Amino acid sequence: MSENREQIEQDLDKLDERSEQFFQDCKLRSAMRLAKEATRTAKSHQHAVHYMRGLFDQMRFGHGLLQPQEVREAAIQLIMLLKDEEHARKIQPDLDEGHYHWVCSWMSTCAYDNLAEATGLMSGYNSEGMHECINEGIQVCRETGKMECVGCFREYAADVYTASDDLEMVRHQCQTLMEFRPGQDSKDRRWSAWHKLAGIHLLEGRLVETQDDLKNGMDVSQDEHVYLKQRAALLIGVSWDQANLLAGKPRFDWEELKKQGIEPPEAGEWPKFEMEVAQCEALAACLSKDYEQAIKILTDWDRRLTELECLKEWFEVRLRLIAAYLLSDQKSRAEALAKGLDAKAHESQDYLTISRLQRMMTGEGTLCPIPLLADPDTGPFCSASRESALESDPTPIRASTIEKQSVPAAPSETDDDEATPATPLAETLAGFMQRMVEAQGDDDERHALLNEFVTYTPEKVEDAHDAAYLVHLSQFVVQGSEDAQRVWPWARNFLSAFPEDGTVLSVVATLGAYFRGADEETFGEVISVEDLEKWFRRSLTLNSGHPRNHARAGTFFLEQGNVGEAERCLARASRLDRKDGNIANQLADIYRQTDRPRDALAVLDLCLRSETDDPSVAWEAAMTALQLERYDSLLTYLDKHRELAKESPLWENYYRSIALLHTGQPAKAIQAADAETEHEDCPGTFHLDLVRASAHADLSQQQQAEESVSRILQTPMSSIDYLSLNGLLRLTSQLLFRVLTWDENHPLRKEFVNRLLSTGLLPDDYFEQLRDQRETVAGLHFYRVQIRQQLDENWPESFACLPMQQEWPDYDIDWGVLASSEEEAVAVIRELQSQCYPGPNEIIELEESEDEYTDKPGIVWQGYRRCETAEEYEEPDFLDEDE
């Protein structure tokens, strides 16, 4: 029986190898056939891991076959097996647990990535749930430790932002993908970044830049760490062929690729590539004015993609088919097809498709076989106006939609950049606003205003803008539940009066959400969450170009805990109004909460470049730059904040001193620290002494550095309640590596190292330096050891105690160590722990890795302390900043 099982495993391994080779050769149909055979065989012979591998391969191969439904089904099955070991044991009762968990660790991120991509292909990349997929996928990357797989979700995010018509954020994602680090990243995705950049540049009519992007992509497509090199070259080649055609240049030379052993597979093996080639042939037919042939090609693919439920690809083919009908003077047919496309695009909120369709159908710009966002900058479709614009200003032109700016104050709920429209109640509303400003703290006047508001019933209000503004203002004069119960029926009546106005729907829903949140006991049954969500969603459908409607909906979804939908709404609001600081801050906060600080900084930076006057945006950008350790940017944002705020607030010069220290300007860092000390609200000087000590050390001012370190060591860290743990770690670590350059017997050096050891603030790099001094040893294991240290009456006054730890009866701390045995690991850790605090301690938990390592033994890291026995213990937020 065992021999038969071994033979089956060998056969399955061979099937996997053959399918992988077919995949490398872009023969996806053949690869899928073998993957399905392997899956059936593995299941029938109770091989769970091989069964999972078969599903994994079906999932990977299905995209190129334009089979998103099959990909989705395979991904769902695989995720169930990855999340629940019992599901896997139903296939193989004697499952090897260790092997199973190892497979789970490397398959999980890919499963979520492929599920997200399949859903995007079927429903549209900006449809409901797509933004949540990015968050979940990146979280899985962190949980499994596969941080290189974050790049997959960067590519996916680029597609999401493309569909949402936010090309600036697409550029940001592509720029991030280009930061390949040889030796650290296992896969090189730079070719994909160049390919995506070429796609958006083509849409913007920047054909010269498109061709440059494609050349750059082709240049790196065959580099060592590129997976699926042939696929990369062929996809770039077909895009290059299209760009050349549109630019009026000779077609791409496929013979050059053949000389490198790269050529397309047989017909039927890779349908996605065949679709791309067909689009090029349709473009060539249009250029030769053979519109009938172009329509025939595109109609065939329109039908096939509809049957295959490939909505994303169908959007592109349908756009080009409509263009072909317009070019052939069949406008009525084009209009009929456009109605169907418009409905589908709005349903999936594919704003890029909507923008391209609107530009084409309204006759804006030159009619082109590929509907663009601006006229091409070269070639047969380059308009005279574009040529003239390029000669006078080479800045890229985006003609599809105008970036809408936020209105200056609350009265205007319109999207226009013009002044508030002259409505029947404009003067009355302005008067109300003035009285509200003057009535701050005057409850009688606010009550009088409320009484006047409710006299304006829907029958007396002719204009939807007036209705929306009345409802919007009413929230600020309500002083309790009794007032709210009067206002709500009045406000809701406006829904019947203006059922097709998105802004009225939005502000009424916002008021309802406010009342429900403030007094759920009274309004819980009167105002349902379901109704509120329905109104918010309807408001976005009625006016997809209204930034404040999207922002209000985003705030609602955030309050309901639906982070994915909140992100989608706020991302759209940010796209429509880059200048609104509140929108930018809210969206950036979501990105930070979901471990995407680089995306947060990109949004904040776009807002600043759009000349927002909100100083909080510059401050948040500065804090995010600090988190990312971008110190040059930190200085820039701090300067911008000072410019906008017209003052230098508390903490600004502290952060400036950190940035100056890290940018090699220690003398200026000392000046900034001194300036912070002079601030009237400065809570202390401990953090500034840490900066000064590092700066003096960099200036080789040994005496001043030692004086600063002495002051630091005389101060119990438990008294520093104005710094976050993150701030303490940053400051002490940067000083530590300067102090370590002093003589190893220097008393201040010894005391400072011991202080950081006892407080649990020694960074991992310190232990790595210690291990580097030892000989490499084979057969090591990694141990994670949790120790509980008992504390006594001396603890609150001890230099080892940190803020908010004074009342702890004990603390738990984890240690990571490489050792040849459990006994050795425990001995090493106990020796160091005894230096942290005297008194008894015990081992709470010990975990040993199964893998063996050839490395240098010793401590790898010292974990953060926590008290699991204290009655009121809260985990510290290590990312808090000191503000």
pLDDT in tens, 175-209: 988 988 776 677 899 999 999 999 999 999 999 99
Residues 848 and 731 both lie in one domain: yes
Residues 745 and 883 both lie in one domain: yes
Tell me, what's the pLDDT at 138? 65
Residues 724 and 851 both lie in one domain: yes
Residues 304 and 430 both lie in one domain: no
Secondary structure (DSSP) of 553-621: HHHHHHHTT-HHHHHHHHHHHHHH-TT-HHHHHHHHHHHHHTT-HHHHHHHHHHHHHTT---HHHHHHH
Residues 772 and 871 both lie in one domain: yes
Tell me, what's the pLDDT at 141? 60
Domain boundary, last residue among 543, 562, 580: 543
Residues 357 and 437 both lie in one domain: no
Residues 358 and 431 both lie in one domain: no
Residues 725 and 869 both lie in one domain: yes
Residues 348 and 430 both lie in one domain: no
The verdict on residue 623 lying in a domain is no
Tell me, what's the pLDDT at 267? 96
Tell me, what's the pLDDT at 874? 55
Tell me, what's the pLDDT at 109? 81
> In Å, what is the CA distance from 123 to each residue of 75, 137, 354, 859?
16, 18, 15, 50
Strand partners, 631: none
Domain boundary, last residue among 543, 577, 595: 543
Tell me, what's the pLDDT at 544? 87
Tell me, what's the pLDDT at 402? 24
Residues 341 and 489 both lie in one domain: no
Residues 358 and 474 both lie in one domain: no
Contacts 24+ apart (CB under 8 A), 291-295: 291/324, 291/325, 291/327, 291/328, 292/328, 294/324, 294/369, 295/321, 295/324, 295/325, 295/328
The verdict on residue 816 lying in a domain is yes
- Residue 431 domain boundaries: 426-543
**C-alpha–C-alpha distance, residues 54 and 34, integer Å:** 9
Residues 864 and 729 both lie in one domain: yes
The verdict on residue 347 lying in a domain is yes
Tell me, what's the pLDDT at 403? 29
Strand partners, 786: 814, 845
Q: Tokens 């309500």 identify what position? A: 478
Buried (b) or exposed (e) across 726-741, using 16+ Cβ within 10 A? bbbbbbbbbbbebbee
Q: What CATH number does residue 77 fall under?
A: 1.25.40
Secondary structure (DSSP) of 181-192: -TTT-SS--HHH
The verdict on residue 406 lying in a domain is no
The verdict on residue 788 lying in a domain is yes
The verdict on residue 859 lying in a domain is yes
Tell me, what's the pLDDT at 395? 43
pTM of model > 0.75:
yes
The verdict on residue 520 lying in a domain is yes
The verdict on residue 649 lying in a domain is no
**C-alpha–C-alpha distance, residues 258 and 273, integer Å:** 16
Domain count, the chain: 4
Domain boundary, last residue among 543, 569, 592: 543
Question: Mean pLDDT per segment of 10 residues, for the chain of length 883 residues?
Answer: 76 95 97 97 94 96 96 94 92 91 85 88 87 68 58 80 95 90 78 96 97 97 94 98 97 94 96 98 98 98 97 97 98 97 95 97 95 96 64 41 30 41 88 87 86 92 94 91 94 95 97 95 94 96 93 97 93 96 97 91 97 97 96 98 94 97 98 95 95 97 97 95 92 96 96 96 94 94 96 95 94 96 95 94 92 93 88 50 54
Tell me, what's the pLDDT at 4? 82
